[in-house]
A and B are shown apart, each in its own frame.
Chain A
């Protein structure tokens, strides 16, 4: 049985962020080795400013009250929790180049790599998930 969970975060909305970090933290809390590859809009989740202002899907703004009522942790809190649990964050170099971003734009403790870096981790992971 694989003890690795590989996740690709390629969308940058608030709902996408919850899907990624809930699965990642739950897996890490179950002693799985977890890596997330942040590519394209997914880079928002680890961007110093972007992570605090993730957009709701259009027309879903009314769910804001539901998030507050359910006492759902904020994304920056889940990001910190994931890092504390040892989840590896890999930022996509190519996307960073396209968007003109450098490591200084992101939170501490991330790795920068390409598709091969992620694939090397994911080759024996189960499940591999894409959000």
Chain B
């Protein structure tokens, strides 16, 4: 699925990846997809937990060369 918006949160540490993901998500409409790239390993657990709390859907998650990518669909 194609993302509507890309967020580069690489190099940022907790809590900034979550704060920036929240802000980016606020600009999207229901059903649109946000792509987030992070290097903070804490985000591996935090972003899915945040999405679950908000009811958003993680469509895809991958990790390559230290960069973690999430595709999150706004609900």
Contacts and interface: CB of A to CB of B under 8 A. Distances in A.
A30 B15 contact: no
A65 interface: no
A29 B19 contact: yes
Interface residues of A, number: 13
A78 B18 CA distance: 13
B11 interface: yes
Interface residues of B, number: 15
B11 A29 contact: no
Interface string B46-66: 100010011000000000000
Given A30-B50, A31-B54, A25 B13 contact: no
Interface string B10-41: 01111110110111000000000000000000
Contacts of A71: 11-13
Contact of A22 (B12, B14, B22, B23): B14
A30 B13 contact: no
Q: Which 10 A-B pairs have the closest CB atoms?
A: A29-B22, A26-B15, A25-B15, A29-B19, A22-B15, A29-B18, A70-B13, A72-B13, A30-B53, A71-B11
Interface of B: 11-16, 18-19, 21-23, 46, 50, 53-54
11 contacts: A26-B18, A26-B46, A29-B21, A29-B23, A30-B22, A30-B53, A30-B54, A31-B54, A70-B13, A72-B13, A73-B12
Given A26-B19, A30-B22, 6 more contacts: A22-B14, A22-B15, A29-B19, A29-B23, A29-B50, A73-B13
